[in-house]
Each structure stands twice: as C-alpha cells, then as structure tokens.
Amino acid sequence: MAAAPPPLHLVIFPYMAQGHTIPLLDVSKAFAIRGLKVVIITTPSNAPFIVSETSNHPNISLSIIPFPRVPELPEGCENTADLPSMALLSTFIEAVKQMKQPFEGVLRDMIDDGHPPICVISDFFLSWTLDSCRSFGIPRIVSHGMGVLPLAICNSLNLLPHRTKPYADLDPLELPNLKLPFTVHKADIPEGILDSDPNDPFARILEEFREADINSWGVLVNSLEELEGDHVGAFESFYFNDAKAYCLGLLFLYNKLKQEVEAEKVQMQSYSYIKWLEKQAGSDGSAVIYVSFGTQAHLSDDQLDEIAFGLEMAEHPFIWVVRSRTWAAPEGWKERVKEKGLVLHDWVDQRSILSHPAIGGFLSHCGWNSILESISMGVPLLAWPMLGISDQGLNAKFIVSGWGAGLMMPHRGDGGEKIMTVGRDVICERVNELMGNGEGRKVRERAQALGRMARSAMEKGGSSDKKLDQLIDQLINKNGKS
C-alpha cells in the first residue's frame, strides 16, 4: 500500500502591525484546517500574540527571526503599535528590510529538509520578499490590507500623467479604466500617490512596494466577490504575468475548530464590556453605538472633548474605545453618562462587541478590517476617515455611496480641507441619524443584507470557500505536486 504523500507546506510572513497580522492569522487557520502545514514568520516580541491565536492548530508553526536593532527605534519596538510617532514609520520599514537574510535562511532550511513551500504569502509592506522568492523559485502571493476597488483606484492613479500644478482637494479625478460607484476627489486619495515629491523617502518606499506588488504571482484580498467582483478584472489588469486576485474574505469568518468556537464563547462572557452590553440589551433592541478609531489615529484633546459631549447629547448608550494616553474626560462628564456610557482605554475584542445584538451602529475611522467586521455582523457605519496616508477616505465613500450601508460624518470644509475639530452638535446629529428610523433604518437594513451575503460566501460551497480551494489547486499544479 502506497504511503500517503507528505503534507504541503506554505510560508506566511505578516507585516508587524496588528491590522495586517490578524487577517493573515485567519487565513493561516483556513489553510491548516485543509491539511496544509503553515509556517508563520515573525519576531520575538510579536510571537506571543501569534501563539495565543494559533496554538489550537498543530499544522501551524512559528519561525522566529530577530528584529534588527536600529538606533532611531526604541528598544523592543517590533510592531508599529509600539512606535512613539508615525513619523518613524519609514525608519521602521527600512529596518524590516534587514530581515531578508534570516528570512531566506528559513526558506533554505525548509528546502533542505525536503519541505519546499508551495508559496510565500507576504505582506505588501515586505516588498523585498519578492527577490527572495524569485531566487528560490517560490511563488510570492502579496497580501493587502485594502479592498479590491481602493487598490484598483490607487494603481490607476499611478498611471496618470505627472502634473506640475497641484490638485485641489475637491478636484474630481478621471479614471477612465475604472467603473466607479462614486466620484473620487483628490482629498480621498492616500497621501503620497498624487503630487508626491520623488525625493521624499516614503514616496520611494511606496514605489518599491508597487513594483514588487505588480510582479507577484498572485494577490490575496480580504474581500468578497459579491461585494467587489465587478472590479476584480480591472484590478488584475495592473499586474504582470497574468497574476490573479483571490478574494478569500471575509477571512475571520472561515470555519474554526470546534474547541476554538467554544473557547471564544467562554472568553467573550468574561469581558467586562460584554457584561455591560448584556445589561443594555433590553426592549430597545440594537440601541448601543460603538465608537473606535483604530490604533493609529491621533485625535486632539479638543476633538475628544467634542466627541464626549456629542455622545452625551445624543443620549444613546455607547461604548467608546479611547486610545489617547493624555486625554482626561471633561469635569463631571463621566458621572453624567455613567448609566449610558462605557469608556475603555485598553485593548478590546472588537469582533465580540460588533457581534453583540445590543450594538446598532459603529462610529469608525473606516479601516478596511473594521468595515468588514462591522458589515459581517450587519452593523451600519458612521464613517469618519482619519489618516491621510491610508485608504480610509476611499473606504468611507465605498461604504456610504457604493454599498449604501453607512452615513458620512462631515469632516471636510467646502474647499475640501480637513475640519480640524468636528463640533459636538454635528456629532450628536449624525449619531441620532444613524441610530434613528429614517436614513438610519435604510442603511441598517442594507448592512444586515450584506452581512447575510458575507456569511453565505464563507460557508461550504460559497464563493470565498471555493476560491480558497481553487488557489490551493493552482499552487499544487504549479509546483507539480499530486
């Protein structure tokens, strides 16, 4: 009787930022459940979190390589969450390049042990892994933290002729090769793509990313064909070598091991904020608004004060995650809202909050992961994009004008300039609109419909489930495995 063939191996290399790492841990589990051996490459400080997320999967192992020591970075800074300032992001990215040699050592050891990986799934920020993969003849699949349409827009903009005259913020951008569900203005575009200074270090880094991206074997996108399938063909046209985009999302909805599901239920019930939500789940139904702007948005104390007063004026129960280390709530405010408001300063399990039936809306910065988590739970968004260096402006327009599952928070003036501080009256008005029965009801119903669609795509035989099987089959055929 012939021996069973050895299991296939693949390597996953996340960028050292939680928003980039967590989706790749989700897809690691999906591969592992299908019987593949997954090696995740990380650094000493990032390893404990990854172990905590993957320890139930014997098919997942870690290969820990050192993070380079750089004088400009604080000791032990191995994740963007540890950066004292985003001004050090370029320094961090340059430091990560020094991991190339130990990364290649991992690949060499796997090959010498008779387990050559069928592919390397590498984060977009780790552009130098393309050269390593080519030297070993291993397909590189690039992973993005953005959706298909925002990626296609950014790629399309790189083909626009160079302009010597700067765009005005509200100038509409003509992108004839894309069919867009909304008008794109300069203000929506991540900084550094239009009117960038070629001598700027970050502009050069972005060009390195793009070159490695379009030359990769394939692209993994955390999205659904049902949500963005109309744009996949246009997106793939920017790639060389007939590279395909694989919409495998929503990654965190993949079937989990039974013990994981049970453990998560037990863990959720231990969170203080879930216990608080249980008390709010009364006759009003989904009455609570969740407020969070991610880990990298930096709001002024004045803006945080206005949010506090705006939430108080709206009179809806709220959970608000405040990341600022310096902000102190206005005098007397916490006492006044103690029955209806819960303010948290530490890490929270956002998915467990959004999945709770008491949650009826999400005031969000519109990071891609947050949008997908909210939509999958049928929760509409009040979109308030924050970071100019990211896709948040495009995501906000997509959720509001493309999907119809959210409302926009006014955050720009008549000339397109960013409003430095959004007032409490505006915040109160928009929160009440989202949570009310007019426009709020429409976007709530749309979000719920999208949630049902997303969950269906992840089930056996759904679009994302089939796309993952297709990806594995194509990698097996490319590597001549049987």
Q: Are strands 218-221 and 318-321 parallel, antiparallel or unpaired?
A: unpaired
* 220 vs 241: CA distance, rounded Å: 16
DSSP bridge partners of 344: 321
* 238 vs 364: CA distance, rounded Å: 30
Concerning whether 115 is annotated as a catalytic residue, the answer is no
Find all residues with CB under 8 Å of 280, minimum gap 6, and list them: 287, 288, 317, 358
Through-space distance between the first and last CA atoms of the chain, rounded to whole angstroms: 17
Three-state DSSP at 408 gives strand
* 477 vs 94: CA distance, rounded Å: 35
Whether 107 contacts 136, CB under 8 Å: yes
Q: Which of 9, 20, 356, 365 is catalytic?
A: 20
Q: Which of 9, 26, 57, 123 is catalytic?
A: 123
Find all residues with CB under 8 Å of 207, minimum gap 6, and list them: none
Concerning whether 425 is annotated as a catalytic residue, the answer is no
Q: DSSP label at 389?
A: T
Q: Around Cβ 94, how many Cβ atoms within 10 Å?
A: 14
Order of strands across the sheet that contains 37-42? 60-64, 37-42, 9-13, 120-123, 140-143, 218-221, 244-247
DSSP bridge partners of 359: 288
Provide the annotated active-site residues: 20, 123
